[in-house]
Amino acid sequence: MPVSKANPRGQTGAALTLRPLPLHGKSKLIEHYVYLSPDINMRFSLKLLQPSRLWLRSAGITVTVVLASFFLSHPGHADPLSPTDILILHSYHYGYKWTDDITKGLDDTLSQSRVPLALHVEYMDTKRVASPNYDEDLAAFYQKKFQGIRFAVIVCSDNNAVQFMASRGRTVFPGTPVVFCGFNFLRKEDLVDLKGFTGVNEEADLGAGIDLALTLHPATTTLYIINDRTPTGLRVMDRLDEIVPSYKDRVDFTFLDNLSMPDLLATLRTLSEGDLVFHTFFFRDQSGRFFEYDDSIQQIARNCPVPIYGAWDFSLENGIIGGLLTSGYFQGQAAGKLALRILDGEPVDQLPIITESPNRYMFDYQRMAAFKIRPEQLPPDSIIINKPPSLYQQYRHAVWAGIAGLILQLAIIFYLTSNIMRRRSVERTIRQNQNRLNMILETANEGFWEIDPHAVGVNVNAELCAMLHRTRTEIIGHPLYEFTDAAHQAIFKEQLAKRRHGERSQYENILLRPDGTAVHCQFNSSPLYDEAGRFTGSFAMVTDISQRKRAENTLKNREAMLRAIFESTDSGIAVIDETGHISQINNRFHQLFLHTDDLPSRDHAVTLKERLSPYLSHSAIPEAIHKPSILSSSEKSWRVRCRNGRVLDVTAYSLQCDDNHSNGYVFSFRDVTDTIRLESQLLQSQKMEALGTLTSGIAHDFNNILAAILGYTEILQYQFKHRPDALKKIARVLKASHRAKALVQQIHSFSRPQQIEPKPFRAGLIVKEVIKLLQASLPANITIKIDARTKRDTVTVDPGQIHQVLMNLCSNAVHAMRSEGGELTVILDNVRFDSSKQFMDIVLPEGDYLLLQVNDTGHGMFLGIEDKIFDPYFTTKAKGQGTGLGLSVTLGIVKNHGGAIQVKSIERQGTRFMVYLPLAEDATPDNDDTLPLLTMGNGKVFLVDDESDLIEMMKEMIHHLGYQPTAFTDSQRALAAFREKPEAFDVAILDMAMPGLSGVELAEAMRAIRPAMPIILCTGYKDQPVADPHLSKVFNRVLMKPLELHLLAEAIDRVLTSSPD
């Protein structure tokens, strides 16, 4: 098709006459003018790739041969045919993507014309120019510019151009058929007075686009529509008004059509999950500011965190994911087909207007990936741009270079045909030899690679092509260095230098496949020379050793893993050979069995027996270490004790590669000393737990016995209150009973830890009481004395626990002097500390303290023992004489009272324990001679306890307080009696642990009958109220056994006073 070109960039009034069809590439534009026949003068506009001088040379020769052949068959030329003039009138400006796409569609379609065409392209520029007389000025300009030119057809794009042609264009171009495209939302009224017009409707299928977006994002709740209020935008809004009601049950719509650009962007930034944006146009905002298509959508996309779909393809690649898009290219293509039909003679009035817009499903792959949309989710035949390039696209130049080389070879063969006959016999022999060589090379299991002196590939076989996943044309003609990375190119350069010096060698290097996979290869290379002895290159047999390399790397990794396991295990491991000599040891073995001066260095071979001898006696060394050959295929284990007291578990294994031969032996040494000690401590702890359970039961039973003693004694105390001589005796019984009560509490706290109950108390009284208890059991060879130096001895403590501390320290002192005798001294003194004092990891606050010191003249402690004596279960006593818990408990009690403890000991001279407790204000002395006042009352008491002695004692106490008791020893009978007369009783006193119904169960049943019934719990289990929060809801008051008369009187009075009944 003859073409001519003028004004490639048309502004208003600029024309592009006969647009060429260029080939796209990266090299410079080269234009050729060739006369092809007497009738046709063709002009070619080509863009040629220039990847290398070799390719250019090949391509040039090929084109020369083809053109020469063509010219030989078409001699001479004549004047070209006159081209047919076609006017393309665009509404918008050059460079506007929609307009450029229409132009491209027209170019591609009109290039198929059977007659030469001259295309005149005009741009009305209506997006950027708007004046009242603009259409009139354009008409006058076109009238003058195209005076004398008769256009065969006029193609106009978009509404402004169509409206111009419908009004002014009839006068400027009378009788010229008009084909339009890009006419937005064509309506019937738009077709009035358009005689001589045909064209293509531009109508975005907004409903289908919205349906697609909602299908891809089913969780969408709100759809935001971006549109402007330009004439096109208003037509879009009319169409949206028609379809929006059909979505009322699926999604909410929000229209962003009358905003300034900053307000629009601010609104978009607030969108979140569940929102979706549908973009149509936004060329002009509320303030009248105009935006280019790409600037507008790019700003919107940068500020929108949710997916954006659209209806026009000029927004594609600028931020939208895609959709069913109206395409300028397909609009131009459809219009071009109509124009060709007019050029072929069909009347324009017989060509129907294409009302169905040629829309296409089009998507941007990068935006799809950003919102995790897969291609298989898209409709069939969708167009996807920005896809990652295929393998062919990446290497198409190399492929075409190979094809060009093949064409070049064919041209050369054709050119040299005349010489073939003269050299046929020689060539036949060469060909036969070459075929034989090729057959050998093609059937070889190794790759063959021949290169020239510059390392450029000359020949390869099929095995090498398969090895590199490349064709011959991708290898031949390319330097060897292209098939490896920069790090390995130096190896090839070094080897090529050796070939130039005539050396043959075997070496390894890495080649790369097109996908970047590395292939480890072994090269057996030799130099090549011509008949004159000149170096002409080299060849190599190439073997793929990747599998072998992977196996080697796997083996290295496994060796590294085994070495890490070997060194990180907690067991010492030694590997010995058949002769018993050590071949390998790990660090743990070296730590367990350090070298001695009489042994060789670690790296020197010694026998396992020699290495162990300094640490194990001869008898303790297992026989298998003396004679490893006795080991069978199964493992053997021993437990041995070292000279330093450590206990080791030894396990031996035989290393056998087959059933009949051993390559060595593995010995594992695991230090289980701490494990054995922990097992022993656990056993001791379990024994103590069982003992605690036993003592708890004994304490409970003893409490019941003590309750009767204490109760009757208190009754006697009030009955003989006018007998001073009797009161003294009764007071002594009460004092002993209270001491027994405290003892029971200590036994109980032994089984279950109790919260301390500190109160101001004189420590001197506790010391005197402990000394009295000890004196009865001291051996005759031990004396005891108290050295009281204090002015103040009142401390805020739990007397029972401080009593236990003194008993523990004094008992240990007595035990240390039992064999040789000695003196036990208890010192009380006042000391003052500042904040720098610290003992046993406790910093004492500044202040006044009571020093409670226990000295003995026993055997003292060995060096290093002082740091361990407070550890749980540590004891220096013989087996069965101590638990190892005394000092640990002592330290815990002292810490809980805000004090500290210090120990000093000299071997064979004695030990001193110093306990520091904060001093408190002096305690008010108890008046033992004054009887507590009893709160007397009257009423009926419902009394239940399974102990008959306690029932009788409690009946006496209740009688003494003025109440009338009704007692039961059977809880079920008691419940039956209460159920008959629930209102007959004023207060209930229940025991906790009873057969049948427990105290809690009985109380709950009584509450179900009479919810407001006052109930008092009387129990010997001190921790029960704390352990069960439910008791506070069931009982009004809790009393601990053994009962004291004044406490019972107070409890009954309080529950009766607070009862709503």
Model confidence at 631: pLDDT above 90: no
Interior angle at CA 129, CA 124 and CA 134, nearest 5: 70
Give the length of the chain: 1061
Could you tell me if residue 1017 is left (phi over 0), alpha (psi between -120 and 50 degrees) or otherwise beta? beta
Cα–Cα distance for residue pair 941/559, rounded to 1 Å = 85
Percent of the residues in the chain that have a pLDDT greater than 70, as a whole number = 81
| CATH code at position 855 | 3.30.565.10
Residue 172: name the closest of 147, 155, 197 by CA: 147
Q: Say what the pLDDT of residue 74 is.
A: 45
Task: Average the pLDDT over each of 138-152, 335-349, 736-750, 812-826 and give the range with the smallest value.
Answer: 736-750
Q: Tens digits of per-residue pLDDT, 357-369?
A: 899 999 999 999 9
For residue 15, the tally of other CB atoms under 10 A from its CB is 18
Residue 324: name the closest of 186, 215, 187, 190 by CA: 215
In a domain, 882, yes or no: yes
Q: Are 799 and 762 in contact (CB under 8 A)?
A: no
Pair 530, 625 in one domain: no
Of 918, 948, 969, at which residue does a domain stop?
A: 918
| CATH code at position 613 | 3.30.450.20
Q: Say what the pLDDT of residue 133 is.
A: 87
Cα–Cα distance for residue pair 292/284, rounded to 1 Å = 9
Q: Say what the pLDDT of residue 595 is.
A: 61
Pair 778, 897 in one domain: yes
Q: Tens digits of per-residue pLDDT, 999-1014?
A: 899 999 999 999 989 9
In a domain, 304, yes or no: yes
Cα–Cα distance for residue pair 95/366, rounded to 1 Å = 24
Cα–Cα distance for residue pair 579/577, rounded to 1 Å = 5
Residue 90: name the closest of 67, 122, 42, 64 by CA: 122
Tally of domains within the chain:
6
Pair 593, 500 in one domain: no
In a domain, 399, yes or no: no
Task: Indicate the pLDDT class of residue 151, thresholds 50, 70 and 90.
Answer: very high
Task: Indicate the pLDDT class of residue 628, thresholds 50, 70 and 90.
Answer: confident
| CATH code at position 1022 | 3.40.50.2300
In a domain, 511, yes or no: yes
Cα–Cα distance for residue pair 526/540, rounded to 1 Å = 6
Could you tell me if residue 356 is left (phi over 0), alpha (psi between -120 and 50 degrees) or otherwise beta? beta
Q: Say what the pLDDT of residue 739 is.
A: 66
Pair 614, 667 in one domain: yes
In a domain, 331, yes or no: no
Instruction: Identify the residue with better confidence: 985 or 235.
Output: 985
Q: Tens digits of per-residue pLDDT, 188-219?
A: 777 776 788 999 998 888 999 999 999 999 99
Q: Are 24 and 47 in contact (CB under 8 A)?
A: yes
Pair 853, 815 in one domain: yes
Pair 1034, 914 in one domain: no
Task: Indicate the pLDDT class of residue 661, thresholds 50, 70 and 90.
Answer: low
Structure-block tokens of residue 159: 């509404």
Q: Are 124 and 164 in contact (CB under 8 A)?
A: yes
Pair 175, 233 in one domain: no
| CATH code at position 55 | 3.40.50
Cα–Cα distance for residue pair 92/129, rounded to 1 Å = 9
Of 567, 594, 627, at which residue does a domain stop?
A: 567
Q: Give the pLDDT mean for 351-357.
A: 89
Domain that holds residue 667: 569-671
The pTM of this model reads: 0.36
Instruction: Identify the residue with better confidence: 867 or 651.
Output: 651
Task: Indicate the pLDDT class of residue 95, thresholds 50, 70 and 90.
Answer: confident
Residue 328: name the closest of 216, 184, 454, 186 by CA: 184
Q: Say what the pLDDT of residue 78 is.
A: 40
Q: Say what the pLDDT of residue 835 is.
A: 58
Q: Say what the pLDDT of residue 79 is.
A: 44
Q: Give the pLDDT mean for 325-332.
A: 91
Q: Tens digits of per-residue pLDDT, 402-461?
A: 899 899 988 888 888 877 787 787 778 888 787 777 777 777 788 999 999 999 999 999
In a domain, 656, yes or no: yes
Pair 152, 273 in one domain: no
Pair 227, 302 in one domain: yes
Cα–Cα distance for residue pair 822/781, rounded to 1 Å = 7
Model confidence at 308: pLDDT above 90: yes
Pair 629, 553 in one domain: no
In a domain, 272, yes or no: yes
Pair 533, 601 in one domain: no
Task: Indicate the pLDDT class of residue 1056, thresholds 50, 70 and 90.
Answer: confident
Q: Say what the pLDDT of residue 691 is.
A: 63
Of 620, 643, 671, at which residue does a domain stop?
A: 671
Q: Are 158 and 182 in contact (CB under 8 A)?
A: yes
Q: Give the pLDDT mean for 39-64.
A: 40
In a domain, 337, yes or no: no
Pair 85, 182 in one domain: yes
